[in-house]
Structures are given as structure tokens and as C-alpha cells.
Chains A and B, each alone.
Chain A
Amino acid sequence: MMNEFRLPTSAVSRRQVLLGGMAVLGAAALAGCAGPAQASGRSQLKFWHLLSGGDGVKMQGLIDEANAASDTYRVAPTVLAWGTPYYTKLAMASAGGKAPDVAIMHATRVAGYAPGGLVDPWDLDELAALGVDQNTFPERIWEKGFSGDQLYSVALDAHPFILMYNTDICDQAGLLGSNGQLNPIDSPDAFLDAARAVNGVTGTQALAYGYLGDGAQMWRLFYTLYSQQGATMTVTPGQKMEYEEDAAVTALEYMQALLDGTIANPQSDYPSAVAEFATGEAGMFLTGVWELPTMQQNEVPFDASPIPTLFGTPASYADSHSFVLPHQDSPDPAKRKAVYQFVADLLTSSFAWAEAGHVPAYLPVTESPDYADLEPQAHYAAAADNIVYDPPAWFTGSGSNFQADFGQAIQPALLGGEDAAGAFRSFVDRVNTLLSSPNPVNPEGGV
């Protein structure tokens, strides 16, 4: 009809051709992307994780190996920015019903996903058939995967907060024992003394600890020091937060004492702390196990130990990278089956994951003689025996608002020397507000 009309100029018809072409192109693209490409008979698995840097490289290696060895699946990983952006996107993808087939989630975050149906439970029998059951995990770590009587997350590791130390510098400072490892430090003052000795060697500072703008980093050290005093923390929606104020203030004041500009640099954010230790500006490093590969690459002469028990009770903040099944409206059974196989494959090959610094959760790996020989991993593996996870609630866990709120309340005290007790109280107020507001994951109540 348009063609028979007489007015169109050549310009108009040229545009018609152009528009028509674009429309066809658009339609083709829309049609082409309707279904996932099926390259071969293998299931294409979408796998989301938040591991970057040293961890990311290692995870990529594990995935590549698993892909190469498997004829049932091919895993395509996507890495999202760690923390809130990752968890927000994962929740949105699960709510949308077309979530990735499998994802990594911190064990402490599952409480915010499972009750709302954002993750699907694992089938215990199917896991057991692949050699994954409660006998192959440390009890605490296995239990952490449950919400009610359903298993929602299968842990790959435990990754505690530890102390790395430069063996050259600490040797000069006279802190090493005959075995070449750090002499036991068992009191707050002893640690300060040790740090000052390190400072005497480096001349710049003793301890690398990056925390600026990083609530998680502040929380990790705080919760370690807090728990070392035997103190506990409970957050139950509908009730006030239960905590021990003296222990909290002691922990915070101790952190203030460390960040005095000579022991640790109060202007340090996470990457600068990594750089401080990697370049030898600092002789000790409060960090997660995941920075191990970075230091090995930088050929820093170093060893590591659990955070010294300064306040009597051994405790180390930790979390676990765990596998979850993000909710899908209609999961493809073949893909689900392939996911179980993939997870089992990664667990059994998680010795390589230990090379990334983490303590593997799968007991057949950590009980192997190879692992006992692995240094410095074996020197801090004991930290996994005394791990403390975040107090469980829908809003707590790694990369949560809980940790971000903690950082926002506490940073002024650490950076500007404001009153520790006041800073902690403002954190408590914030948590109490969250506890009194309705639980959006499970409006009927519960954590």
C-alpha cells in the first residue's frame, strides 16, 4: 500500500529501506537471543560469584579444570562486584525467576534468602550420592548451611581473618621463635609491644590494616576481638539487640590504640593496606586468608597465624563461601543434576582452593597429608576451629548493610578518635531500628 502511493521521494524510500533493515536486524537479534545457545550436548551452567583478585584467578582455574574434565556440563562464570551490589543483583535475579543455575553466597547471607524463597534447597540424598554429606564437613560449617531442616548452602571453605607477618622484619624485631614462626602473643599489651618492635625495624609503620570506607574490615577485626572476650551478640527480629557493651568498648578502644599512626596508619583503606604489607612498609598485616596469593606473587617473605588470642578466648571472625541454588521458576532437571555434579567436583578438587588461602570445608581435602605440608596454610588452619560467624539475621552477613552500618557508626571513632562507646551505641540504635522494622523476608516472624 505504501509502495503504490505516488508522493514518496527517493529520500523517503531510502529511509524506508533503512528503517526496514533496522527492524529486521532488531527482530533477528530479539529472536536470536530468546534461548540460550546450546553449544554441545553438555549443560551450559551459569555460575555467579563475587570472587575477584587472587580468589578470582583461583576460582577461574578450578572452573576451567572442572569444565575440561566434565562431559556433562560447561560452566560459564560471571563475576559481580563483591558485597551489596552482588547480593542485591542475586536477589533480583532470583525474584525474576531466571536466576543463574548456581551461585556462591556467603554462608552468613543465606538467612536473608532462604526464608523468602530466593534460593532453592539442596537435595540431601542427591548430594550424599556424590559423596557430600555431614560426615565430610566440620560440624559447625555443615550446620551453618541449614535453615530450618532444609540445607540451603554447601560450604566450599571457611575463610577466617588472620595475621600475616613479614618473616624478615619480624625476625629482625626479635619476634620469631626457633621454628621461624611468630612467638605466641597472649595479651593486648604484648601485641602492642610486638608491633612497636616491628615499627622499630620498618621505621614507617608496624601493622597494615585497611578499613577506611570498608565496614566489613572494621567488623572483622572488631568481632574477632569482641568474641575473644567470650562475649556474644544476638539479633532477633522484634527484640532488642543483645550484646555486651564492655567487651565492645574494649575491642573498639583497642582498635583505636592500634590506629595511632605509628603502629597502623589511620588513613589506610583496603588496597593501600595490601600495598603497605606487599612493599614491606609494614611488617604485620591483619587480613583475610584470601590475600595469601597476592603476597606470594609479590614474593613477600611471610608466614601467617590465627589472630593471636589477646583476650583469653580463641576466636576468629570467619565466613564461608558456599554454593546455593538461586531460585528458578522452572529449573531444567538436567541442568540441576549437572549443578550437583559441578559442586561435588569443585569440592573434591578444593585443594587448589586452599592455595588461594582459604581453609577448604571438605574434610577429605583438609585431612590429606598434602594439606598438612602446605605452608603457610597449615599454620593458620587452626583458626577454622574457633570461627565465629556473624549473628544470624536476614540483614547480617558479609557485605551486608549490617556490616556497612557498623562501619559508618565506627569509622569516626577510628579515624577521628571520637568516643568508642558513643560510636558503638549509634550502631546499636541502627540495629535496633532494623530489628523493630518488619522482616521482609519472612513477615510471619523468625530470623
Chain B
Amino acid sequence: MTTLVGSDLDAAERDVEPTKAPRRGSSHRPGEKPFGVGRIIAFAVLALLALGWLLPFLWAVDTAFKTETDAASAPSWIPSEGFTTQAFEAILSQGNVPTWAFNSLITSVAITLITLVISSLAAYAFSRLEFAGRRWLFVLIIASIIVPPQVLMIPLYYEMLTFRMVDTYWGLILPQVVIPAMVFILKKFFDNVPIELEEAARMDGANRLRVFWSVVLPLSRPILASVAIFVFITAWNNFLWPFLVINDTSLMTLPIGLQTVISAYGVQYAQLMAQAVLAALPLVVVFLIFQRQVIKGVATSGFGGQ
């Protein structure tokens, strides 16, 4: 999920701020009419594409608000028995979905925090500190960016068996905090933080850890936010590793629970879609509120996205 291609360094730094007001719309371009035929066609195509991309989601939401009988009838946007929240009530009262949501939240927060702490410490060392072995270690970490997590499936699972960490939160969390690309991104950022501020603090007798904590980190809020958002989204959505390491349904995260555990009562489409909608909701809400930061977080940190 988090593999970053080693050579996309420049791109990774690029500042992506598409939410800025369209500063170069065609009306700004010389020689163009603001409401030409071209723009109307462009608008129509865009609207069609957007509709195409929204429809699957709307259909899922629509289904989630139907009764099971309506959901299992011939497809129709307007259900004959009217819209209802029955499916959501059923899902929430069964207890699994809240448990999984809790697990997702706890593990994603833990993964995000640990990743931020260990990656930024290491990145700072690579950016600022002189120590023996620094260069080869950095090269090793950058090189490891190309390791696909899928390759580790078998040996990592075997390791978890040995450590008795299968079916534990730790087994779920710890292997996900190693994201070498984040060290790289943070180091690139720290490289550009003016060193003078640190030197001033050091003159005052602050040690490295204090300088890092109180000078560098506050200055790095934007990149920390980007990294945090990206790591959180990745962890919240991750499938493969949690799917392998967790068998106990009470420890599953949302994506794993949704995929693995089914209803004894057979396929209930409205409930399935209600689950899907509930699982998607937190990130959609976060996106609606923090659109700019999320886009930036994904664009700066998310190379090799899926």
C-alpha cells in the first residue's frame, strides 16, 4: 500500500494545492470567451463523468436505506416500501460493526502516532546529525522502499506465529509502522528547515532532543499533518496484513470484518450496503471537512497509492 518509488523525489516534494481558487481558468486566458460552446461541452462532459463516478456510491447509499425486501427486488431508485434506517439499526445493534470501528480507530491512531514518532526522529537524524554509518543506513532505508509488502506476506506471518503475535493488536499494529518512504519525505522537509533557528536554540544549551521537539517539529506541522493523514488513511483502509494476522472477530478492523464475517441469516443486501456506507463514512466526512489537507497528504505521501 505504501510503496513509494525511489526516484519520484521531486514529485514527492511538489506542493499540491488544487483547492486554490482556479487561478488559470480559461476566462483568464487571452482570446477566449467566458461562455463559449466549448465550455458548455466541457461542462457537459465533466458533469457526465462526475455522475458516472458518483452513481455507484449513490446506489449503495440508496440500497442501504431500503428494506431488505426492496433491496432484493428489481433495481429501482425509489423503493416501494419507502426509505428506512432499518438496515443501519440492525447493523449497529449486532455489535460487530461498532467493535470493528473501534479496532480500526485504535489501531490506525496507534500506527499513525508510532510512525510519526519513529520516522521523524530517524529523518531528523539523517538530515542533521553526523554519525558513523549514517549514509549506508539511509541508502538501505531508501532502497527498502521498493519492497512490496506482499512479498513479506509469508515470512512476516511466520514471524508473527513465532512471536505469538497472531491475533493480537500488536501483531496488527507493529508491522504497519515501518514505512521507509515517510522517513524519506520527512528528511527532505527537514533538509529545508533553516538551520539558524536550531543553532540559536543550541546556543541556549538545548540538547538535540529538545531542539527537535521544540524547534523542528513545530516548524514541520504541515508535513507532519500530511504524513499523519496519509498514514491514517492507509492504516484505516489496509486489507492484506490485517486480514492475515487477525482471525479473532473481536479484534478485526472494519475492512477485514466486512469481508470475513457474514450474516447467519444469509445475504442481506441493504445491510451489506449499510455496513459499506458506515465504513466509508469517517473518511468521507474527514475528506469533506479537510479536503485540501487530505488531497495534499495523499499527494505528498501517497505515491504508489493502492
Q: Is the CB of A57 within 8 A of B214?
A: no
Task: List chain A residues, Cβ under 8 A from B218.
Answer: 9, 11-12
Q: Is B283 an interface residue (CB 8 A)?
A: no
Given contacts A7-B215, A33-B250, A98-B248, are A52 and B106 in contact (CB under 8 A)?
A: no
Find A26's partner among B106, B161, B251, B263 (CB 8 Å cutoff). Answer: B106
Given contacts A52-B262, A56-B266, are A78 and B249 in contact (CB under 8 A)?
A: yes
Compute how far the CA of A423 lies from the CA of B215 in the bound complex, rounded to whole angstroms. Answer: 71
Tell me the B residues contacting A by CB distance below 8 Å.
102, 106, 109-110, 113, 160-161, 164, 166-167, 169-170, 201, 206, 210, 213-215, 217-218, 244, 247-251, 260-267
Q: Is the CB of B164 within 8 A of A97?
A: yes
Task: List chain A residues, Cβ under 8 A from B263.
Answer: 52, 56, 79
Task: List chain A residues, Cβ under 8 A from B166.
Answer: 92, 95-98
Compute how far the CA of A85 lies from the CA of B257 in the bound complex, rounded to whole angstroms. Answer: 13
Task: List chain B residues, Cβ under 8 A from A79.
Answer: 261-264
A33-78, CB < 8 A from B: 33, 46, 51-54, 56-57, 59-60, 77-78
Would you give 15 A-B contacts (Cβ < 8 Å), ordered by A? A2-B213, A8-B214, A22-B113, A26-B113, A29-B169, A30-B169, A33-B169, A52-B265, A53-B267, A54-B266, A60-B265, A89-B247, A92-B166, A96-B166, A99-B247
Compute how far the CA of A19 lies from the CA of B113 in the bound complex, rounded to whole angstroms. Answer: 8
Residue of A nearest to B248 (CB): A98
Compute how far the CA of A92 lies from the CA of B216 in the bound complex, rounded to whole angstroms. Answer: 45
Compute how far the CA of A250 lies from the CA of B234 in the bound complex, rounded to whole angstroms. Answer: 53
Distance in angstroms from A350 CB to nearest chain B CB is 17
What total of A-B pairs shows CB separation below 8 Å? 91
Distance in angstroms from B87 CB to nearest chain A CB is 17
Name B's interface SS: helix
Find B266's partner among A12, A19, A33, A52 (CB 8 Å cutoff). Answer: A52
Compute how far the CA of A301 lies from the CA of B106 in the bound complex, rounded to whole angstroms. Answer: 53
Compute how far the CA of A78 lies from the CA of B161 in the bound complex, rounded to whole angstroms. Answer: 23
Q: Is the CB of B247 within 8 A of A56?
A: no
Task: List chain B residues, Cβ under 8 A from A30.
Answer: 106, 169-170
Q: Is A434 an interface residue (CB 8 A)?
A: no
Q: Is the CB of B164 within 8 A of A81?
A: no
Compute how far the CA of A54 lies from the CA of B264 in the bound complex, rounded to whole angstroms. Answer: 8
Q: Is the CB of A96 within 8 A of B214?
A: no
Distance in angstroms from A66 CB to nearest chain B CB is 15
Task: List chain A residues, Cβ under 8 A from B262.
Answer: 52, 79-81
10 closest residue pairs by CB, A with B: A56-B264, A96-B166, A53-B266, A93-B247, A7-B214, A29-B106, A98-B167, A79-B264, A78-B249, A26-B110
Q: Is A124 an interface residue (CB 8 A)?
A: no
Compute how far the CA of A96 lies from the CA of B266 in the bound complex, rounded to whole angstroms. Answer: 28
Q: Is A23 an interface residue (CB 8 A)?
A: yes
Q: Is A128 an interface residue (CB 8 A)?
A: no
Compute how far the CA of A229 lies from the CA of B104 in the bound complex, rounded to whole angstroms. Answer: 55
Known: A46-B248, A79-B261, A93-B247. 15 other contacts (CB 8 A): A26-B109, A26-B110, A26-B113, A29-B102, A33-B250, A53-B265, A53-B266, A54-B266, A57-B266, A60-B264, A79-B264, A93-B167, A95-B161, A96-B161, A98-B247
